[in-house]
Structure 1
């Protein structure tokens, strides 16, 4: 094989490997299911006036949150928010747990960043 042929093979291999790396990172960033993104946007629209501008801002917001908080963390925080509204001992455990507070703080930081970037 000639030097030019070897170089072509190396360049092609690097391009393929680089593309695979980009696809992997894109999957990591986009690990939120469409349903979760849609639910967030619908709730955000209700809170922000249901205008075309709000659609853009709310879509931007969930994209920022997804880039900062893995989906697992988002689900945990949403569960904590939901369960903390339950009265009694069970709800109290979600309101006072250090892990629950940490999950909520992560979500709130991501939401604050989304607010700054998108609204």
Structure 2
């Protein structure tokens, strides 16, 4: 009886844990992405739907910490001088951005 209860408890906990991992992006990050996406793709209902789909797909592929790292690299690359150059030229930074770009490409294929 105890084993059965433990199995049932685990069966209900696993989907909830998977959902938490798939939804680890805070609402603010999702909204910021959607606003930026809509600015580029038009301020329409269709753009809202497609941009929301896009960030959902990215979130399902790329953990939030990796997304934050990639966004940071993108922002730092815009800087001038030695700091900007470091973020533009380092192989690690290129790898971080490549992961984001792959997630964005997949999201674009599915949502746009």
Band the TM-score falls in, shorter-chain normalisation? over 0.9
Gaps of 5+ in 2: none
Number of residue pairs aligned between Structure 1 and Structure 2: 112
1:117 pairs with 2:79: no
What is aligned with 1:3? none
What is aligned with 1:48? 41
The Cα RMSD (Å) is: 1.3
Gaps of 5+ in 1: 1-5
TM-score between the two structures when normalised by the length of structure 1: 0.90
What is aligned with 1:35? 28
TM-score between the two structures when normalised by the length of structure 2: 0.95
- Deviation of 1:99 after TM superposition, in Å, equals 1.0
Larger radius of gyration: 1
2:95 is aligned, of 102, 105, 119, to: 102
**Range moving further from structure 2, 15-24 or 78-87:** 15-24
Map 1:1-119; keep pairs closer than 5 Å: 6=1, 10=4, 12-119=5-112
- After TM superposition, which residue ranges in structure 1, 4 or more long, deviate above 4 angstroms? none
